[in-house]
Chains A and B, each alone.
Chain A
Amino acid sequence: MSNKILIIADHLDGSLNESTARAVACAQQMSPTGIDVLVLAEDGASVAAEAAQIEGVSRVLQADNAANAHPMAALLTPQIVAAAQQGEYSHVLGPNTTFGKDLMPRVAAKLGVAMVTDIMSVHSAHEFDRPIYAGNAVITVGAPTDQVLVASVRCASYPAAPGGNSAEIETLSLDAELPGHTRFVNLEQASSDRPDLQTAPKVISGGRGVGSEENFKVIYDLADKIGAAVGASRAAVDAGYVPNDMQVGQTGKIISPELYMCFGISGAIQHLAGIKDAQTIVAINKDEEAPIFEVADIGLVGDLFKIIPELEEKIG
């Protein structure tokens, strides 16, 4: 059986999310005969041009529709189902960003097939590892080979496929009836000039130990000093110190930076689930028994409010 793979592009404001290139890297391990990227947008030209550069991509399919101005699963799904059937794909993949998490199960159900969430490693085109119990166990699953495989890719497990390609871009017209029952109202984006949490090589995080929204300034200042993105524990988000899109963990963002440095975070399993793929974890906590020290590559016991100023000064 040939493995013809369709990847749904995740994009925002005319630019491609790096998660798409990570999904391509995963797809390359499935002995593909072809990898096509589907761009569903109002005007997908710039996104398609970016996708065409990803190494490993055979074709980019651009399906413009005013209804795609804001990605809504209920409207995208009929288009993806049409594209999947038209192109006779064996696999339909998306990234495990909130876009992919929302969308891919709806696609699977419409195709009447099971779905694999969070592929973290590929054994063959139908056999994968995925995490369960917040990453505290890994299962190897075999998917039926006689039906389309729908899956999401755990982005933290794959580095983005590099650029340098110039795949063909085709416009696609999809014959699909779109429902009117779901309408976009607005998107409140936390505007920030800092690097993106999901792709930044360095991340500085704060937890409940930071104590307040005002105190979080010390975390931002340190992050700016070393060019890092800023993350947080759920406790810090719940307490209102920072917005929700900064949450790292099982139910927040799962990240794999080169450096993860956290202050005043105890290291609950749900938080650790989000940082296990970081190359170097540095933990600063005043409690020497904090579980974060069990996974930290470098640990320092102490008061974050004393340590951060000293750190800033000595990093130079």
Chain B
Amino acid sequence: MKVLVSVKRAIDYNVRIQIKPDGSGVVENGVKHSMNPFDEIAVEQAMRWKEAGTAEEVVAVTIGPDAAKEQLRSALAFGCDRAIHIKTDEPVQPLTAARVFEAIAQKEEPKVFMMGKQAIDDDSNQTGQMTSALLEWPQATFASEIELSGETAKVTREIDAGLETLEVDLPAVITADLRLNEPRYLKLPDIMKAKKKPIEDMSLDDLGVEAAARLETLKTTPPPTREAGVRVESVDELVAKLKEKGLV
């Protein structure tokens, strides 16, 4: 079984975002970037299948600038066999990313396409669903448990009402939620080994993909801020404040 897994380069989740004073975006230069946390979980899942002998080959794919190679190298250090880099310096929106992934999936023919449920930069939560729609494949989003058996997968999904289980035929797109697993720490020898693994470069043109109509970002602003309020010194004071506001 072959598994494809998407890996997006994004500002590290620990970074406090700075908005450019002219409202043209967030400061990205000189800011730590890493693999989107949900994609790490997706990669980890693929590795577990590989180690269990369920997956023979795992291929990582990214769409992004040269610097996104770093995240592909991390995916290779996790144990992915090879990687595909679709190079572009333009920010890629979900529908365009989905068209790229559709083309890659048609070429690679994986049984499972693992993705993160959302990218923590744009927080779109769209690409997996869009990719599976274009491919006419089943989708199982927000996965917290996946059981593969031959031609189907049983996926437990984290939804508002609780835990839902779906059974989907393969090939399918599955998107990872936080509790699917805890990604391993990368070890130096694995990072060294990853340097020798192949990365194939491609462009949107090579794949014959046309960028989709875009949402235009008109400006970027800080969110409405909340001011810190008061500190109370005792439960009595707290209760008094709550009563004053009519909250208890």
Contact = CB atoms under 8 A, between A and B. Distances in A.
B40 interface: no
Interface string A134-152: 1111111111100100000
B220 A300 contact: no
A112 to B, nearest CB: 8
B166 A185 contact: yes
A108 B95 contact: yes
B216 interface: yes
A134 B123 contact: yes
B161 A187 contact: yes
Contacts of A314: 235-236, 239
* Interface size, B (range): 35 or more
A250 B215 CA distance: 22
Contacts of B159: 98-99, 102, 187, 245
Contacts of B160: 97-99, 198, 245, 253
B215 A134 contact: no
Contact of A311 (B19, B142, B228, B238): B238
Interface stretch (A30-38, A61-69, A291-299): A291-299
Contacts of B247: 202, 258-259, 280
Given A102-B141, A137-B221, A299 B230 contact: yes
* Interface size, A (range): 35 or more
A136 B139 CA distance: 29
A183 B167 contact: yes
A113 interface: yes
B238 A298 contact: yes
A115 to B, nearest CB: 6
A245 B215 CA distance: 32
Contacts of A12: 161
A102 B222 CA distance: 28
B37 to A, nearest CB: 9
Give the one of B126, B137, B177, B233 with max A CB within 10 A. B126
Given A105-B133, A109-B129, A141-B218, 6 more contacts: A12-B161, A140-B220, A181-B172, A185-B166, A280-B245, A315-B248
Interface of A: 12, 70, 72-74, 77, 97-99, 101-106, 108-110, 112-118, 127, 131-144, 147, 179, 181-190, 198, 202, 226, 234, 237-238, 243-245, 250-251, 253, 258-259, 269-270, 276, 280-282, 293-301, 307, 310-311, 314-315
